[in-house]
């Protein structure tokens, strides 16, 4: 008995086209918003809510808002609309903290320099040997611009640095310095040498058992007492060291996760062609492990970026801290909502950029990891 009716059997050598799939806006709407009754109801409810909320939000945020730093006009609003006048009045204090007002072009230039350098560094095409010395120079210029004391720039104590440049510096140096330490700790924790293993594990568990705020207190108030006489480190250096060594413990576990994911055969294949343990780590194990953990790296990067606001506890004023300084003005202190919305926008834009970049990088570096499994035997 034939399985199908004669007429329905296609000619044996005519290739069958895949079933047609519906396209166009109508089909998209049906598939995504009105696929079934519950989803249609949800769509309608949300649309209704948007219609109610959106105009009010636009009025509050944009159309009715006051943009000039005019206190009387802002008071007259009686909170019925946003007073961006506060941000217009105080943006330099928020962005640069207590840095001397007349010299604030210096933190601006320093921050722009680092941001541009980061953008260039972000592309794999610039991952060459010259990148390391270039960054040493960039950091030196950054510190010179901020700190002054040469080339006719007046000296500005690190205690006065604040706002965005401080946030950028703490995040950048904290992250960059903690990754290599984290790699060493992670490799140490998996070493076959008992002493290296115990030391790494002890460090990681101890640091992870302490909140960052405690580390900052210790770095700021206790650590100077422990330094030998005559040796002094300024508060900024101590805080950077604190953040770095704190972050390194978390980095170590991130890297260890990547190392754990590699099959043992990779290491065996590397040493069986005569590579030493170091060469195997450097050429075979770490490049794969680090690519695998890019998402977790970015996780840590974002949380470090935000955690830097904790330095206010040791009287340093990063972006968040500087906003609080600005809100200390009794005239403007009612407009904290606008202030926080402003720095939230700064944080959000930066974090979105970083996370989109990481997704792109993961895609680019990991192309070897995304080949269809079916091709492997």
Residues contributing to the site for another protein (CB under 8 A): 263, 265-266, 268-276, 279, 283-284, 287-288, 291, 367-369, 371, 375-377
Which residue, 7 or 274, has its beta carbon nearer to another protein?
A: 274
| Other beta carbons within 10 Å of 205 | 11
- For residue 317, what is the enclosing H or E element? strand 317-318
- Please report how close the Cβ of residue 360 comes to another protein at its closest, in angstroms: 18
Contacts of the segment 100-103: beta carbons below 8 A, 24+ positions apart: 100/154, 100/156, 100/160, 103/148, 103/153, 103/154, 103/156
Which residue, 171 or 281, has its beta carbon nearer to another protein?
A: 281
- Please report how close the Cβ of residue 174 comes to another protein at its closest, in angstroms: 28
**C-alpha 97, offset from chain centre:** 21
Which residue, 40 or 269, has its beta carbon nearer to another protein?
A: 269
- Please report how close the Cβ of residue 45 comes to another protein at its closest, in angstroms: 46
- Please report how close the Cβ of residue 287 comes to another protein at its closest, in angstroms: 5
Residues in the chain: 377
- Please report how close the Cβ of residue 208 comes to another protein at its closest, in angstroms: 30
335: Cβ contacts below 8 Å, ≥ 6 apart: 74, 83, 85, 86, 327
Which residue, 16 or 371, has its beta carbon nearer to another protein?
A: 371
Which residue, 37 or 377, has its beta carbon nearer to another protein?
A: 377
| Other beta carbons within 10 Å of 308 | 25
| Token code pair at residue 93 | 């204090």
| Token code pair at residue 196 | 């290296």
């Amino acid at each position: 008995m034939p399985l199908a009716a004669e007429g329905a059997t296609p000619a044996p050598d005519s290739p069958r086209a895949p079933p047609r799939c519906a396209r166009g806006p109508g089909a998209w709407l049906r598939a995504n918003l009105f696929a079934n009754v519950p989803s249609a109801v949800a769509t309608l409810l949300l649309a209704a809510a948007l219609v109610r909320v959106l105009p009010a939000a636009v009025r509050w945020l944009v159309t009715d808002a006051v943009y000039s730093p005019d206190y009387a006009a802002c008071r007259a609003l009686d909170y019925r609309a946003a007073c961006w006048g506060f941000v217009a009045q105080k943006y330099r204090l928020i962005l640069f903290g207590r840095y001397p007002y007349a010299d604030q072009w210096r933190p601006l230039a320093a921050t722009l320099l680092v941001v541009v350098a980061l953008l260039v560094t972000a592309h794999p095409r610039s991952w060459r040997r010259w990148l390391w010395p270039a960054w040493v120079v960039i950091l030196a210029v950054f510190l010179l611009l901020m700190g002054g004391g040469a080339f006719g720039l007046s000296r500005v104590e690190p205690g006065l640095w604040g706002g965005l440049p401080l946030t950028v510096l703490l995040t950048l140096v904290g992250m960059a310095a903690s990754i290599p330490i984290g790699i060493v700790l992670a490799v140490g924790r998996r070493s076959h040498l008992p002493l290296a293993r115990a030391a790494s594990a002890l460090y990681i568990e101890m640091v992870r058992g302490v909140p960052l705020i405690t580390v900052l207190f210790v770095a700021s108030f206790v650590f100077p007492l422990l330094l030998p006489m005559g040796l002094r480190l300024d508060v900024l250096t101590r805080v950077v060291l604190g953040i770095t060594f704190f972050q390194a413990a978390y980095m170590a576990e991130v890297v260890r996760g990547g190392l754990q994911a590699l099959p043992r055969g990779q290491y065996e294949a590397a040493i069986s062609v005569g590579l030493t343990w170091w060469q195997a780590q450097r050429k075979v194990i770490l490049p794969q492990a680090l690519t695998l953990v890019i998402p977790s790296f970015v996780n840590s990067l974002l949380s470090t970026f935000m955690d830097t606001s904790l330095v206010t506890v040791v009287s340093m004023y990063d972006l968040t801290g500087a906003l609080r300084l600005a809100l200390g003005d009794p005239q403007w202190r009612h407009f904290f909502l606008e202030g926080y919305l402003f720095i939230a926008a700064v944080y959000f834009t930066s974090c979105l950029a970083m996370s989109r970049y990481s997704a792109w990088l993961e895609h680019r570096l990991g192309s070897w990891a995304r080949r269809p499994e079916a091709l492997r035997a």
